[in-house]
Amino acid sequence: MMLSKLICTARKIEPEMGDTAGNCIFCGEYSENGYIPGLKTNFTAYEWLQDGEIVCPYCNHMYNEQEYRKSMWVVSDKEYKKIKREEVKDLLLNPPEPPFAIYLTRTYKKQGWIRMMNKINYDQSEFFVGMDYDLIFVKSIQLNVYIPLVELLIERKIPKKEVQSGRLSPKSIEKIEMNIDVMKKVEKYANDPLWEVCVWMM
């Protein structure tokens, strides 16, 4: 299933039908009830578009509804819910019953959902989340390693910027009692986009 259809199903939205047939530029699906794309001048996500001629009714709903880019949300076939940053940790540790999709954002303005269109998740231990235009691969096993370490570093009052970059200042290294094992891990994990999300969500 495509994301736009999952959203409409969860929210019980019956989008208005258009009368142009073709393939949808957002999801790639064929529809007889599409619209001729009327992309606004502030649209910048051209590189993520599919080959197509129309916008299908479901994607048309998503494109015209601002909340999909101006908020973070989680959707499954049973529920659509906006989320706050403080809720992200629990959500990643306990994602909904599949199928589901999770969208996060730092900018609150990018049409990041376009990239998630065919990235509906069917596995609660390995799945994708969208963050602005990035797709981040989440593995539960990895989360269970990253989260306690990020928490420890933040507890020790190490600046988030350093935790994120993996480059700890001499002062921060002192704060972790020059623990080489921790230093090495932080340096290594900092290359993983999921680590960045873990730091951001704390």
Minimum CB separation of residue 27 from Zn ion in Å reads 3
Q: How far is the CB of 3 from Zn ion (least distance, A)?
A: 9
* 56 versus 158: smaller Cβ distance to Zn ion: 56
Q: Structure tokens of 120?
A: 């509906």
Strand partners, 72: 83
Q: Which of 15, 26, 62, 69 binds Zn ion (CB under 5 A)?
A: 26
Contact 111, 69 (CB under 8 A): yes
Q: How far is the CB of 7 from Zn ion (least distance, A)?
A: 11
Structure-derived torsion over alpha carbons of residues 49, 55, 61, 65, reported in degrees to the nearest 10: 50
Q: Give 158-172 as a DSSP string.
A: --HHHHHHT---HHH
- By beta-carbon proximity to Zn ion, the closer residue of 1 and 178 is 1
Interface residue with Zn ion, options 10, 27, 158, 168 (CB under 5 A): 27
Looking only at residues 38 through 97 of this chain, which bind Zn ion when binding is defined by CB under 5 A? 56, 59
Which residues of the chain form contacts with Zn ion (CB under 5 A)?
Answer: 24, 26-27, 56, 59
